[in-house]
Amino acid sequence: MSIAESILNIVDEYMINENGRHLKEVAVEIGELVAVVPDSLTFCYEVLIEDTPYKDSKLDITIIPLTGTCTDCNQSFKIKNYEFICTHCQSTKLEIQGGQELRITHLEVD
């Protein structure tokens, strides 16, 4: 619920400058490693926007897959089953490239 609230607080900051335009969509990226269930977030968002100017808007959630680069062999790959081990050389020295996002990318208005 507090994530949905944080989304709406940020949306407010932008919509105040949009002079009476309507919010249609909030585009959100959630990384695979982030502990957020998309359906729950959508539900919380819908509860919070009832009786607000945003009541017709939608949350557009994109899940960002977990990917990493091995710092030993420099290969990049998809991290499967949350096993942080290089699929090429079995090293555990990985840099996470994607999958930790929890952000708003943009709003669609009309």
Partner 1 sequence: MPIVTVERKILEKNDDVAAQNRKIFHENSLFVINLLSSPGSGKTSLLEKTIKELNDSLKIGVVEGDVQTDNDAQRIAKFDVPVVQIVTNGGCHLEAKLVQNALENFELSDLDLLVIENVGNLVCPANYDLGETKKIVMVSTTEGDDKPAKYPSMFRVSDVMIINKIDLLPYVDFDVNTVQKHALLINPDLTIIELSCKTGEGFEGWIKWLQSNLE
Which residues are near partner 1 by CB under 8 A? 2-3, 6-7, 9-10, 14, 18, 21, 24, 28, 33-36, 81-85, 92, 102-110
Distances from the Cα of 50 to the Cα of 21, 43, 57, angstroms: 18, 11, 10
Nearest distance, CB of residue 36 and partner 1, angstroms = 7
Nearer to partner 1, 29 or 76 (CB): 29
Nearer to partner 1, 35 or 51 (CB): 35
Query: What is the per-residue burial (b if ≥16 Cβ within 10 Å, else e) of 68-93?
Result: bebeeeeeeeebeeeeeebeeeeeee
Nearer to partner 1, 34 or 48 (CB): 34
